[in-house]
């Protein structure tokens, strides 16, 4: 017993360093010339500085330029700067959400990766390979070459005019529509040539790091794992990986918020009906569920093999145990003066065996849970309040709410 406990403590102590092996969304602190150990408080400060810096490079210059041009708030314009909630949403809500999502997501993903070793899912003989795998994916997520590639991609989109805003009113703070496109104002030029490229860089970097996380899950799913068929989560003990996917909800919320802000502007200026966007809204929810839940299916082959193997094993064991029970109590017990059946523990043992077999039989092929799916769906649908507030006045919304609860 002491030998076993010593082994477990040694494994846990060794795995304590694993929490620093995988770091996909953590800022590269070396780029900030910080040489000492980075604590949680330091990371909070870095995140705040990143948010403030982005706002100083995007929203503040546009606001100041619109003041200089007299388009910040003008009754002569159909869409003034302060009335354009899409630009405020993009730079004051969505980008900060993306940066905060980095801060919230990375610790949970690191603890998820560490739990694979701390809970002994990774066999001892595979520990070195697993840690090397985690370090390799961390380097891949934080590669400077990927940053350069994303910058070049954004610049190409800018040069070839791939990214343009949705249809705008004729008189807008962004510029005047011409036959060959939009003739930018000074603030509109900064929006399209500085602000939106920064947003695109952050968005694409987020997608890249999520791709690295999915690649990490794929690589782990190809390893031999010590899964537990009778684990209560009915996913071999991998339920915590499904829960980790819910940490991407802030990113989903950010993307959905910008989408619904654009929808709200189209409803307000182009008299669209919200029902016209129902197919797009459904597609948005389905797409997000697919992006963030499908990687969990990487574990389906291993969990399926586990279920088939363990059902066969538990079936053989159960058959042997039941035959022994039958012989002891229904055959031999009837010929002798054996103790009464109900006074023994055999009935409980058989009942427990049936429970264990049922648990194995209900083993799921992938670690997807309802709570994660609902969290992602809720994050994708919550910003629908934006177009609702465009369509209905606060008093109308209040009346509807009161009608529901009164």
Q: Do 90 and 119 sit in the same domain of this protein? A: yes
Phi–psi pair at 72, nearest 5 degrees: -65, -45
Q: What is the mean pLDDT of residues 238-245?
A: 91
Q: What is the pLDDT of residue 326?
A: 65
> Tokens 């309802």 appear where?
370
Q: What is the pLDDT of residues 360-406, one digit of tens each?
A: 888 888 898 899 999 999 999 999 888 887 777 777 666 766 665 65
Q: What is the mean pLDDT of residues 3-15?
A: 43
CA distance 129 to 124: 10
Query: Biggest alpha carbon distance in the chain?
Result: 105
- What is the helix (H) or strand (E) element at residue 42, kind and residue range? helix 40-57
Domain total of the chain = 2
Q: In the structure, how many helices (H) and strands (E) does the chain have?
A: 18, 2
Gyration radius from the chain CA atoms:
29
Q: What is the mean pLDDT of residues 176-187?
A: 74
Q: What is the pLDDT of residue 6?
A: 40
Q: Is the pLDDT of residue 119 over 60?
A: yes
CA distance 120 to 10: 12
Q: What is the pLDDT of residues 184-229, one digit of tens each?
A: 889 989 998 999 999 999 999 999 999 999 999 999 999 999 998 8
Q: What is the pLDDT of residues 255-280, one digit of tens each?
A: 999 999 988 888 887 778 888 889 99
Residue 72 or residue 38, greater confidence: 72
Q: Highest mean pLDDT range out of 91-100, 166-175, 263-272, 330-339?
A: 91-100
Q: Which residue among 226, 251, 267 closes a domain?
A: 226
Q: What is the pLDDT of residues 11-27, one digit of tens each?
A: 554 444 545 456 665 55
How many alpha carbons fall within 13 Å on the CB side of residue 69? 23
Q: Which residue among 165, 191, 226 closes a domain?
A: 226
Q: Do 161 and 195 sit in the same domain of this protein? A: yes
Q: Which range (3-12, 51-60, 152-161, 263-272) has the least confidence?
A: 3-12
Angle at 367 between CA 364 and CA 368, to 5 degrees: 100
Cα–Cα nearest to 103, from 201, 250, 252? 250
Residue 344 or residue 63, greater confidence: 63
**DSSP label of 19:** G
Q: Do 140 and 237 sit in the same domain of this protein? A: no
Q: Do 13 and 67 sit in the same domain of this protein? A: yes
Q: What is the pLDDT of residue 203?
A: 94
Q: Do 202 and 266 sit in the same domain of this protein? A: no
Domain of 191 in residue numbering reads as 1-226
CA distance 385 to 36: 44
Q: Which residue among 166, 195, 226 closes a domain?
A: 226
Q: What is the pLDDT of residues 306-355, one digit of tens each?
A: 888 888 887 777 666 667 766 655 555 544 555 554 444 455 666 667 67
Q: Do 355 and 373 sit in the same domain of this protein? A: yes
Contact 98, 251 (CB under 8 A): yes
Question: Taking the model in full, what pTM does it have?
Answer: 0.81
Q: Do 219 and 110 sit in the same domain of this protein? A: yes
Q: What is the pLDDT of residue 37?
A: 45
Q: What percent of the chain has pLDDT over 70?
A: 74
Q: Do 95 and 138 sit in the same domain of this protein? A: yes
Q: Do 206 and 260 sit in the same domain of this protein? A: no
Q: Is the pLDDT of residue 32 over 60?
A: no
Mean pLDDT of the chain: 80
Q: Do 306 and 216 sit in the same domain of this protein? A: no
Q: Do 255 and 315 sit in the same domain of this protein? A: yes
Q: What is the pLDDT of residue 331?
A: 55
Q: Do 233 and 170 sit in the same domain of this protein? A: no
- What is the helix (H) or strand (E) element at residue 4, kind and residue range? helix 2-15
């Amino acid at each position: 017993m002491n030998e076993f406990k010593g082994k477990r403590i040694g494994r846990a102590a060794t795995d304590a360093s694993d929490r620093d092996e995988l770091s996909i969304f953590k800022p590269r602190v070396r780029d900030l010339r910080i040489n000492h150990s980075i604590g949680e408080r330091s990371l909070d400060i870095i995140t705040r500085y990143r948010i403030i810096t982005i706002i100083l490079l995007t929203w503040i210059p546009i606001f100041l330029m619109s003041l200089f041009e007299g388009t910040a708030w003008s009754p002569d314009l159909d869409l003034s700067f302060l009335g354009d909630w899409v630009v405020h949403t993009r730079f004051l809500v969505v980008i900060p959400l993306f940066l905060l999502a980095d801060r919230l997501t990375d610790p949970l993903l690191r603890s998820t990766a560490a739990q694979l070793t701390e809970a002994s899912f990774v066999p001892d003989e595979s520990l070195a390979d697993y840690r090397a795998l985690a370090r390799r994916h961390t380097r891949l997520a934080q590669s400077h070459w990927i940053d350069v590639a994303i910058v070049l991609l954004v610049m190409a989109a800018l040069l070839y005019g791939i990214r343009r805003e949705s249809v705008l009113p004729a008189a807008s703070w962004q510029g005047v529509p011409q036959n060959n496109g939009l003739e930018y104002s000074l603030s509109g030029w900064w929006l399209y040539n500085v602000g939106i490229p920064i947003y695109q860089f952050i968005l694409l970097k987020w997608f890249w790091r999520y791709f690295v996380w999915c690649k990490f899950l794929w690589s782990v799913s190809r390893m031999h794992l010590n899964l537990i068929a009778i684990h209560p989560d009915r996913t071999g003990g991998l339920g915590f990986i499904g829960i980790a996917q819910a940490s991407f909800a802030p990113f989903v919320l950010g993307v959905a918020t910008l989408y619904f802000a654009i929808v709200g502007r189209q409803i307000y200026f182009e008299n669209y009906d919200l029902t016209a966007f129902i197919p797009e809204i459904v597609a948005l929810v389905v797409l997000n569920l697919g992006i963030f839940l499908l990687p969990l299916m990487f574990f389906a082959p291993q969990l399926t093999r586990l279920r088939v193997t363990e059902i066969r094993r538990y079936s053989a064991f159960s058959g042997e145990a039941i035959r022994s029970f039958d012989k002891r109590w229904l055959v031999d017990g009837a010929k002798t003066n054996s103790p009464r059946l109900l006074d023994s523990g055999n009935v409980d043992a058989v009942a427990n065996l049936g429970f264990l077999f049922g648990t194995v039989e209900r083993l799921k092929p992938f670690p997807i849970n309802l709570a994660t799916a609902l969290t992602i769906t809720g994050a994708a649908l919550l910003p629908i309040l934006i177009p609702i507030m465009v369509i209905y006045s606060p008093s109308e919304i209040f009346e509807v709410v009161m009608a529901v609860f009164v």
